[in-house]
Homo-oligomer: A and B are copies of this chain.
Amino acid sequence: MNAPLVQITHCQEFAAAHRLHSPKLSGSENAALYGPCNNLHGHNYRFEVTVEGPVDPATGMVMNLNDLAEVMRTAVWQKVDHKNLCQDVPFLNGVITTAENLAIAFWNQISAHQARLDGAKLHRIRVVESPDNFVDYFGGAQ
């Protein structure tokens, strides 16, 4: 088979509170490092999940978008929407809730549902914290 490879992306939004605070640092070190982000505040977060795969000629789809949306809802959205990311989210327990760490944690949450991605491969997680700041994680390490 020689099927075209396409990436599909679905986006969801959630409203959450958080603060940046490292348990390895003192209060003044935290304040110096994170500035105002050391205070409890919040965001309308947007997160995008991109998966890549061949297009099934029978359906015209890489995978069913409704399935992708459902995975995102159950694996991430329901657990973070209208929550304090620093206290209410078991999968973020002990995690400093920077956008970088959220993207990595969301990757792991989505990856645990690989079987529901219908053969498509998780490609990228984007976390948009504010209109001017976002991060991308492709699953790589160095």
| A interface, CB within 8 angstroms of B | 1-13, 15-18, 20, 22, 24-25, 33, 35-37, 39-44, 50, 54-55, 58-62, 64-66, 81-84, 88, 95-101, 103-104, 130-138, 140-142
Contact = CB atoms under 8 A, between A and B. Distances in A.
A100 B6 contact: yes
Given A2-B142, A6-B136, A60-B95, 19 more contacts: A4-B100, A6-B103, A6-B137, A7-B137, A8-B135, A9-B135, A10-B133, A11-B131, A17-B17, A22-B59, A33-B64, A37-B82, A41-B82, A50-B136, A54-B141, A60-B100, A61-B100, A62-B135, A65-B133
12 contacts: A5-B137, A7-B137, A8-B99, A17-B17, A22-B60, A24-B58, A41-B42, A41-B84, A59-B96, A60-B95, A60-B97, A60-B100
